[in-house]
């Protein structure tokens, strides 16, 4: 009986490992870019770059796919990495990119926007993001919105929502109802994080209330993606609230 129990445990462990690899398979695109498959329709893209005093930092973005079309949420850190990402996805996943939305105006969200504009991929952003990009002499998205924006990828809904200032004054979240995915970006902190991170453009006082708004608006979020680090479930939001309330 003991031997059977051990064998069963090993088989169960192997099954769980294989299931995890299948459901969240990681694809290495280059030395500094990976894709994490969340579902047949959704991938996290992870790019790594040196960010000064912060050292080598990995940043997350999202790709949403439906029937040969794709939306990009946050670019890689620069135009070269973004070109590598986009061309690989187009060639290997057989899609055409039809839109882009950045989480906020920082380089880890829209550092590759110039490349997207050279490809004439339409871009949408919080109007505050556009204004800040212009103020800082950066490439800026094509079309702005206030408060919220609803987009469509074929018949799939994409909801962009500005809940208030947090990591930056202009940061938004993106909700994909069909996948129950919330791309929260840098206002959300991974479960291993204990730090608020880069506060250069943060609104510390507003941040807790902003997270509370997100928690109230998207209680059914199954996957929550922070701007940096590991994705998780809804628990990322109360974890973030605890960090930013200190």
pTM score of the predicted model: 0.89
Distance between CA atoms of residues 119 and 171, nearest Å = 25
Above 80 in pLDDT, residue 19? Answer: no
Q: What is the pLDDT of residues 33-55, one digit of tens each?
A: 999 999 999 999 999 988 766 67
Average pLDDT, whole number, for the chain?
A: 91
Q: Which residues are catalytic?
A: 104, 106, 108, 167, 186, 189, 198, 228
Distance between CA atoms of residues 231 and 163, nearest Å = 20
C-alpha distances (whole Å) from 164 to each of 113, 168, 176, 203, 216 are: 23, 9, 19, 9, 13
Lowest mean pLDDT among 13-22, 23-32, 54-63, 109-118: 13-22
Q: Which CATH code fits 23-244?
A: 3.60.15.10
Partners of 159 in the β-ladder: 150, 175
Spell out the domain ranges in the chain: 23-244
pLDDT at 57: 85
Above 50 in pLDDT, residue 10? Answer: no
């Amino acid at each position: 009986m003991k031997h059977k129990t051990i064998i069963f445990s090993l088989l169960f462990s192997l099954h769980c490992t294989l299931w995890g690899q299948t459901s969240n398979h990681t694809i290495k695109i280059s030395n500094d870019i990976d894709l994490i498959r969340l579902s047949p329709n959704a991938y996290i893209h992870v790019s790594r770059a040196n960010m000064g005093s912060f050292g080598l930092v990995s940043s997350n973005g999202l790709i949403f796919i439906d029937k040969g079309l794709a939306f990009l949420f946050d670019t890689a850190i620069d135009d070269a990495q973004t070109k590598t990402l986009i061309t690989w996805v187009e060639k290997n996943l057989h899609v055409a990119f039809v839109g882009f939305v950045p989480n906020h105006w920082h380089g880890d969200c829209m550092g590759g926007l110039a490349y997207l504009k050279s490809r004439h991929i339409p871009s949408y952003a919080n109007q505050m993001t556009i204004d800040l990009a212009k103020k800082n002499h950066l490439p800026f998205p094509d079309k702005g919105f206030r408060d919220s924006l609803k987009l469509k990828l074929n018949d799939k809904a994409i909801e962009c929502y500005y809940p208030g200032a947090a990591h930056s004054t202009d940061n938004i979240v993106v909700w994909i109802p069909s996948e129950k995915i919330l791309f929260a970006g840098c206002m959300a902190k991974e479960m291993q994080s204990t730090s608020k991170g880069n506060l250069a453009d943060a609104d510390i006082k507003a941040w807790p209330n902003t997270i509370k708004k997100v928690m109230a608006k998207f209680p059914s979020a199954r996957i929550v993606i922070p701007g940096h680090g590991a994705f998780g479930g809804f628990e990322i939001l109360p974890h973030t609230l605890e960090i930013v309330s200190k």
